[in-house]
Amino acid sequence: MWPDTAMPSPLRNRLVVEYGVDLDGVWLPIAMLRRLATHGPWDRPFTEATADQERVLVAHSLADPHNQQGLHRGMGLTGFLDAIPFEPTTPFPAVPGEQPGRPEETTGL
């Protein structure tokens, strides 16, 4: 609940880029695959994947079912991630007329 004297912040639009792979018609974000790679069979289970993502990951040996619930990394995940041509995101230069680091307020959503 907003106090009587406080005004909510204006809404702003941001562009977010998500890198990933479409495998068997299912989107697999690279960031999710990298988090999955940190989950071994004796670690806590990986539970971020949707049912469709789990099905595709297991079918392609990118993940194995965990003994309780969720997944852990599969035998093929490391080679799969290494084969994806990926470069880290680099910042874009400021748009002329904008102050760097301060997006202009968006009006008329």
What global pTM score does this model have?
Answer: 0.66
For residue 102, the model assigns a pLDDT of 58
* Model pLDDT for residues 59-107, shown as the tens digit of each residue: 999 999 988 789 999 999 999 988 887 666 677 777 777 565 555 555 5
Long-range contacts of 52-58 (CB under 8 A, 24+ apart): 52/26, 53/26, 53/27, 53/28, 55/26, 56/23, 56/24, 56/26, 56/28, 57/28
Domain ranges within the chain, ordered by starting residue:
28-83
Is the confidence at residue 29, as pLDDT, over 60? yes
